[in-house]
Structure formats: structure tokens, C-alpha cells
Amino acid sequence: MTVTDARRVARRDKRRVILDAAAPIFGDEGYERASIDAIATAAGVSKPTIYSYFGGKEQLFRESVADSAVQQNAQVLEVIQRLDLSAQGWLASLRDLAMKLTECQRTPCAVFLARMIAAETARDPEVYRVVRVKAATPILEALAGRLAMLGNAGHLIVPDPALAARQFLALISAEIAELTEHGTRPVSDERVRAAVSAGVDTFLRAHAQASR
Amino acid sequence: MTVTDARRVARRDKRRVILDAAAPIFGDEGYERASIDAIATAAGVSKPTIYSYFGGKEQLFRESVADSAVQQNAQVLEVIQRLDLSAQGWLASLRDLAMKLTECQRTPCAVFLARMIAAETARDPEVYRVVRVKAATPILEALAGRLAMLGNAGHLIVPDPALAARQFLALISAEIAELTEHGTRPVSDERVRAAVSAGVDTFLRAHAQASR
Amino acid sequence: MTVTDARRVARRDKRRVILDAAAPIFGDEGYERASIDAIATAAGVSKPTIYSYFGGKEQLFRESVADSAVQQNAQVLEVIQRLDLSAQGWLASLRDLAMKLTECQRTPCAVFLARMIAAETARDPEVYRVVRVKAATPILEALAGRLAMLGNAGHLIVPDPALAARQFLALISAEIAELTEHGTRPVSDERVRAAVSAGVDTFLRAHAQASR
Amino acid sequence: MTVTDARRVARRDKRRVILDAAAPIFGDEGYERASIDAIATAAGVSKPTIYSYFGGKEQLFRESVADSAVQQNAQVLEVIQRLDLSAQGWLASLRDLAMKLTECQRTPCAVFLARMIAAETARDPEVYRVVRVKAATPILEALAGRLAMLGNAGHLIVPDPALAARQFLALISAEIAELTEHGTRPVSDERVRAAVSAGVDTFLRAHAQASR
DNA sequence: TATGAATGAGATTTCATTCAT
DNA sequence: GATGAATGAAATCTCATTCAT
């Protein structure tokens, strides 16, 4: 490995350290309240270092959002790909998928993304766009694909898989915000499971085969 | 009318003027970026006047949220109460209700509330709570009541009206965020109508009578 | 009593009420920190009333100082006039006078005056001047007169009574500031008495007749 | 000298510059009227620099008082240590000491301290305490020690040196406040000398050997 | 390259003072 | 004559950003 390579790796490492420090602070405080000072301290670097790596607060923020979106995407895609399509297993596996997706949504990373989209998209539409490109769309497409497979296999009626995917996500989280008081109250897994299940039930009823 | 009454009215009017000026600024800029200066200028009063009426930025913000929640509640409740329960009318009226609710959700007032809940609840959980008490819960209960009536009338199967209400709202807005790119892009009524309709369709399929 | 007279009395009463409210607030907070609002509330009147009676904060302050000086003067003069000049009584009476003067110095009114002179004379020399005219000089002259009488009576040697008066006051308070930590600590009468007595002793030694 | 050392020196220098700028402004204006802006301008630095060095107005004030107390202490201790104890010299030297102490008391630094104690101790008792620890007590002890030496040498009768020290200071300044109208009027050295001398005379009479 | 030091700009908040009733 | 309401001006303090080492 050459000296230059070593430097490039060091750079990448420090980028990672800064991004990992930035996300929870942006997530907890919001864009405005989050101070570069706090991020620098948390990352164990000095402020000018952050400026040299990212250029400014806004850019750091965007990269932080994009980075979280990528992480979120990877996590969720893996979950989706595990859906069992077999005749015996698909139903239980779909319920399981719903729970796993809900867990992913309650990850600090996902909470951060959701908050930033809601809070900062009006100020900077790029925030929404980057999350859509790096997470929302791939996730929806993957989920739509899997639901289509369930349709093809004759387990469900899925005339519009993309729509079904969106509705699936909407239904399984329909009760979550109220249940957790927007993330300000801890809730037992039991109750989360019940809420998610109710969403899956409705989804299944809406897409059931006539015979069922 | 006595002098005191006149003063009380003047006070109330000025409160209104300030609240009306504050909501869009908080909504556009978020709590931190919104400056008292800007709100004062928009309201046509001086900064100290705002402090004398509301005590401080945080209190003004809370009152602004509460005020918007009350307005939102009034608007939505009126829409819900217009649901036609008759055998011939209920289906078209339910579709119409879904559209009207969606319109209410895209009102500046509702956009403001949604953004503030997402952005500021982590900082101040009271934000979520006041909106729940003054808007979310009454709206859900009213909607649940109406859906129950549709159940009683034999038009739909509604074993859990409160759940059905939440899912109804979730389904009709499942596609809206993506469609409008989180409110950053204008969208034709046509496309909104299609998105809402798809949600209603799914809801109906999930709650259909066996005979249908 | 005519209507006009009644009004004049009412005016004087309200002046008194305001002055009585102002002195402790100025005394506790200092000129800058004391707010007209607080004084108005304490006096049970509105701010504009204070402005109509006194013209402004600075004038209210000056009148408050002058008023306290007059009160202080009256109190102290009465104490001084009670000095017993008789051969048997003068010594005990002088000790008693020293204690009474010290008590007068620890009165809220006197503490207020002392603080205001030290704190505000640099900003407004008139503060010192008015206290000197209305309190310090009359008090010193009265005390000097009494000490001269003790000299004439042959009890003490007092070649310069005015100087002796100043030194008497200086000596009896030489230990007080340290003892009370500048008024921030309560101290037993016992210890105050001892400190004052030590001052009187020194004074007596310095002005003793040869025979003593 | 390393880079770190150079920085540490630079920091210390800038601290000094700020403290030197702050003392006269606090002294002239008092705590409340003194503005950080004015101090920053006088020191030739920006406001945030002051905040980074001292944390806030209150802390800057305390450090300013402590710093002045240390300076005052150094100055006065040096004067006291010069007291000549020899049989031929002590009397003239004591008179000289009294004058020098009076000059020290009229220094801007001492005026600042006296004013701040009187004006701000009620708000923050720490002000008095720090001055006592860093200046008043050491000075009194040093003076008491010297007076005790005069007693040991048989020049004066000094049964309680600490008390004698306090009274000495009280007597030599008994006339100063009135003479200078609390520092608002310039006074000839001649008159100051006479006032101080009168205090020393009384002190000497009170502590004279029987033979004298 | 990385950093300690410094700052310009702007935020909230307070207060003495005046106006209109 | 007395007051509720309103405001201009100024205070403290914070922060993103840059410079010099």
C-alpha cells in the first residue's frame, strides 16, 4: 500500500468518524440547533477539519442524510430479501417482515431521516430527494417486487405491486406514531406487534384471493 | 360597550394578528430559524408587544401550534360530519370525504402542524401532545364514529372503528408524500384524486361485505 | 378643607407611597437593576403615574436619596441630642451614643444611602452632595457641638470638635464592615457592642485629660 | 520556546489586555452599565473573544475584581514593608506610610475596588469575600505586624495590633471622603496631607507611651 | 494537514419612556 | 389625573466561518 493510499484511507476513516458523530446530533437537535462545535467534539476533531472535509454545515448535513439513507436502505433491503415465498411460509414470513420493517423504522438512523425530511425539506428540497433516491425508491421497488411474486405465486391478488407496497408500509405504521407518542415514549414490543399485525390483517383482507 | 370591553377586544384582535403572522413563519422556517423580528414585522407590531402578549418565543410557538390545531380540528370535523350515510349516497360521499380530508391535510395550517410535530416534538414533547388533544384525537374519534355508522347500516364491515379510522387516513395519504415530493412540488388535482381513490379502493376491499 | 387642599394632600400621599416603595428597591438592586416596573408594582400605581410625579428614573432616584437622607438625619440628630453632658453620666452616655449611631448606620435606610453614595456618585455627583447637605453635615455639626460641650465641661480635650466628630464616627465603625462582611452576614449584638466599644476606648484615650 | 508555550503566553497576554480594559470601565460605570461591547472595544478585541476567555460578564467581573485586589495588595504590602522601625526614623516613617497608604487608596484600582464592594456585594457576596482574602486581610495583617514591632520596640503601646491596624486605617481616611467629595473633586496634596496627619496625630495620642 | 484563536452577524430579551383613552 | 398598551434602543450571548501557525 502506498503512502497516498494510506492517506486516502485515513481520509475516508475520518469522514466516517465525522458522519457517525453528526447523524445523532442532527437527529436529536435538528439542523439549526446542532452546532458544528458539538459535532467536532463528538467526533474528536477540530472544527476546521470538518470544514476541510465537508465545506460547511449545509453540506455536512446533506452528506449525513445521504449516508443515513444508504445505511437505512441496506438494512431494509436485506430484510425484504428474506421474505419467504413458499406456500407454507409466505404468510408468517410477511408478518415477520412487517415487524422487521417496523423495527427498522424505529432505528435511530430512520428516526433521524424521518425527522430531517419533515423538518428540513421545506428549507432544502434536496433532503427529500436524496432520501428518495438512496432509500425510499429502492425499498419500495424491492418490496413491490416481492409482493408481485406473492401475486404470481397465487397467494395474493396484487394488480399494482408498487401501490401495494406503499399501502403495506402505510398500514403497518398507521398506529405507530400515536402509540409511541411520536417516539417520546417507550412502548412494549407486544403492543407494537399488535399494531403492526392489525395493519397486515387489513392488507391481507384487501388483497385476498376470492377462495380465501 | 365599556372601555374595558373595547380593550379586551383589542387585545384579542392583536393576539390573532400575531398568531396569524407567526404560523406561516414557523411553518416555513422551523422553530429555530423563525425570528421574533420577522414575526413582529409580519404582524405589524413591535417585538416587545409580542413578548408582552406571549412571554417568549417558546410560548408563542406553543400557542401557535395549539391555535393551528384548533383550526385544523374545526375544519376537518365539519368535513367529517357531512358524510352521507344513505344507501345510495354513502359510497360517493366517502370518496368525497377522502378528497376533502386530503385537501385539509394540504392546507398551510396542516402542513405547519405536520412539520412542527416531526421537527420539534423531540425538543418539546408538549408539541405532539397538544396537537393530539386538540386535533388528532377528536378527528379520529369523529371519523371512527362515522365509519361505525356505515358498519351499523350494513354498508361495511367495521369491527374496530378506531382502527379503521386510522387505516383509512393512512391509506388515503399513502401516496401523497411521494407524489408531492413532500410538498415541494405542485401536483394536479387529477393525480391527487387518483392517489386518494386508490387508497379508498383498498379500504373498501378490506372492509367489504361478503355479498359485494 | 377645600377640594384643592384634598388633592394636594392626595398628591403628597402618593408621593410618599412611591418614595417608600422606591427606596428598598433601589437599595436592594442598585440604580440600574431597579426597574420602574417593580417600583410601580410595589407602590400599587402604574408606571405613567411615577413619570407624572417624578419625571423619570433619575429624578425619582435623586428624590429617593434625598428623602432617605432627611429621614436618616432626623433619626440620628435625635440620638445625638440625647447625649448626657453631666459629670456622672457623660461617659456611659457617650458609649451609648456610639451604639445607637451604629444601629442607625445599620438601618435599611442608612445601608441604602451608603450603597448609593458609593455606587452612584461617580455617575451622578449630585447623589453625594445631597446626602452631605441633608444628612452628613448636619449630623457632623451636631456631634461636633456635643463633643465641644464635653470639652468645655472639662471631660475631654477637644481642640478641633469637627475633626473629633469625624474621627469618632470613623473609630466606632472601623471594625463593622469586616465584622458583618459588608452587611451580608448577621452578627450578634454582643460582638457589635464590643467592636464599637473598642472604637470609643481609642477615642477616649486620644482625647483624655492629663489627669485621667 | 515551543509553539504551545507561545500560545500560552499569547493567551495570558490577551487576558491581561482584557482585564486592564475591564477594570476602569467597571469602575467608572458600575457592573450593570458597563457593557461587554465597551470593554471589548477598549481592549481591542471582539466580544466573542471575551466570552471565550472569561465565559460571561459575571465571571469577567469577578476576575477583574480579584485581579485588582491582587494588584492593590502587592502595592500596599510593599509600602508597608518599608516602614522604618528605628528609634530616630519610625515617627516620620509612620507619617510617610500614612500618606503612601492614602495615595494607594486613591489609585484608580483602589477606587474601583471600593466602589465595587459597596455597589455589588449585595448582589454577589463573593465580591467582598475575594477582596478580603486577596487584599484586605493580608494588608491588615502586615500593618498589624509592623505596629506590633513598634510596640515591641517601645515606641508605642499596642495591646491589640490587629485592632490598631484597623483604627489606623480608619483614622487616616476619616476626612478623605468629605474632602474629595467622594472622589469627584481634585484636591491639593497639601490638604490631603493635613487630613492624613490629623489622623496620625490622633492615633499617636491614643497609643502614646506614658512618658511621651 | 490539522488546529487554536478570533470574529461578524444576528438571536432573544429587557426596560425606560410615551401615547391615547 | 391615571392607566393599559406599545415601542426604540440596547444588552448579553451564540455560532458558522476563517486565518495563521
pLDDT (tens digit per residue) in C19-29? 999 999 999 89
Which B residues in the span 37-96 are in contact with A, Cβ-Cβ below 8 Å? Answer: none
Q: Which residues contact A21 (CB under 8 A, 6 or more apart)?
A: A39, A42, A43, A44
Q: Give tens-digit pLDDT for B109-141.
A: 999 999 999 888 988 889 999 999 999 999 999
- Distance between CA atoms of residues B172 and B204, nearest Å: 11
- DSSP category for residue D84: -
Q: Quick check: C36 CB within 7 A of strand E?
A: yes
Nucleotide F4 C1' to residue B33 CA (A):
32
User: Residues, chain A, total?
Assistant: 212
C-alpha cell at A94: 410477511
- Chain C residues with CB inside 8 Å of D174's CB? 163, 166-167, 169-170
> Which of the residues D171, D175, D176 would you substitute to probe the C interface, choosing the one with the greatest number of C C-beta atoms within 10 Å?
D171
The nucleotide closest to A40 (CA, C1' atoms):
E3
Report the protein residue whose CA lies nearest the C1' of nucleotide F2.
Answer: C49
pLDDT at D155: 96
Contact D32 C32 (CB under 8 A): yes
Q: Quick check: C47 CB within 7 A of strand E?
A: yes
Instruction: Spell out the domain ranges in chain A.
Output: 1-55, 62-206
CB contacts < 8 Å between C and D, how many?
Answer: 117
Q: C47-67 burial by CB neighbour count: b if 16+ within 10 A, else e?
A: eeebeebbeebeebbbbbbbb
| Angle value at C-alpha D139, between D137 and D143, nearest 5 degrees | 120
- Distance between CA atoms of residues B191 and C208, nearest Å: 110
pLDDT at C212: 43
Asked if D202 is an interface residue toward chain C (Cβ–Cβ < 8 A), one would say: yes
CATH class of D63-206: mainly alpha
Q: Quick check: C35 CB within 7 A of strand F?
A: no
- DSSP category for residue B84: -
Whether the per-residue pLDDT at C4 is higher than 80: the answer is: no
- Chain C residues with CB inside 8 Å of D165's CB? none
> Which of the residues A117, A191, A202 would you substitute to probe the B interface, choosing the one with the greatest number of B C-beta atoms within 10 Å?
A202
What's the whole-number mean pLDDT along residues B151-173? Answer: 97
What's the whole-number mean pLDDT along residues B157-184? Answer: 95
Q: How far is CA A5 from the centre of its chain?
A: 32
Q: How far is CA D196 from the centre of its chain?
A: 17
The nucleotide closest to A7 (CA, C1' atoms):
E1
* Average pLDDT in chain B: 92
- Chain D residues with CB inside 8 Å of C169's CB? 174
The percent of residues in chain C predicted with pLDDT above 70, rounded, is 94
Question: In CATH terms, are D1-55 and D63-206 the same topology?
Answer: no
pLDDT at A41: 93
- Give the number of other Cβ atoms within 10 Å of residue C173's Cβ: 19
- Distance between CA atoms of residues D26 and D116, nearest Å: 8
- Distance between CA atoms of residues D126 and C118, nearest Å: 18
Q: How far is CA D195 from the centre of its chain?
A: 19
- Distance between CA atoms of residues C22 and D105, nearest Å: 32
Contact D178 C123 (CB under 8 A): no
Nucleotide F12 C1' to residue D177 CA (A):
35
Q: Quick check: D129 CB within 7 A of strand E?
A: no
Strand E contact nucleotides, protein CB < 7 Å: 1-21
Q: Which helix (H) or strand (E) holds A26?
A: helix A3-33
C-alpha cell at D145: 505586624
pLDDT at A204: 97
Nucleotide E1 C1' to residue A49 CA (A):
9
- Distance between CA atoms of residues B212 and D64, nearest Å: 86
Q: Indicate the pLDDT class of residue B212, thresholds 50, 70 and 90.
A: very low
What's the whole-number mean pLDDT along residues B1-25? Answer: 77
Q: Of the candidates C146, C168, C157, C158, which has an alpha carbon nearest to the alpha carbon of residue C98?
A: C168
Q: Indicate the pLDDT class of residue C210, thresholds 50, 70 and 90.
A: low
- DSSP category for residue C31: H
Asked if A120 is an interface residue toward chain B (Cβ–Cβ < 8 A), one would say: yes
Q: Cα distance from B12 to chain A (closest Cα, Å)?
A: 31
- Distance between CA atoms of residues B204 and B88, nearest Å: 16
pLDDT along chain A (212 residues), means of 10: 58 88 92 94 94 94 95 96 95 97 93 90 90 96 97 96 98 95 91 97 90 46
> Which of the residues B58, B106, B163 would you substitute to probe the A interface, choosing the one with the greatest number of A C-beta atoms within 10 Å?
B163
Closest-CA residue in chain C for D140? Answer: C178
Contact D167 C167 (CB under 8 A): no
- Distance between CA atoms of residues A94 and A108, nearest Å: 24
Tell me which CATH homologous superfamily contains domain B1-55: Homeodomain-like (1.10.10.60)
Contact A30 B122 (CB under 8 A): yes
- Chain D residues with CB inside 8 Å of C198's CB? 160, 163, 167
Q: Is the CB of residue B128 less than 8 Å from the CB of residue B137?
A: no
C-alpha cell at A21: 458523530
C-alpha cell at A78: 436485506
Q: Is the dihedral of CA C163, C166, C168, C170 positive or negative?
A: negative
- Chain C residues with CB inside 8 Å of D182's CB? 117-118, 121, 125, 128
pLDDT at C122: 85
Q: Cα distance from C174 to chain D (closest Cα, Å)?
A: 6
Q: Is the CB of residue B113 less than 8 Å from the CB of residue B28?
A: no
Contact B181 A119 (CB under 8 A): no
Nucleotide F17 C1' to residue B62 CA (A):
33
Residues of chain D with pLDDT under 70: 1-10, 210-212
Q: Of the candidates D138, D143, D175, which has an alpha carbon nearest to the alpha carbon of residue D161?
A: D143
The percent of residues in chain C predicted with pLDDT above 90, rounded, is 80
Dihedral of the alpha carbons of A101, A102, A104, A107, in degrees to the nearest 10: 180
Q: How far is CA B186 from the centre of its chain?
A: 19
Tell me which CATH homologous superfamily contains domain C62-206: Tetracycline Repressor, domain 2 (1.10.357.10)
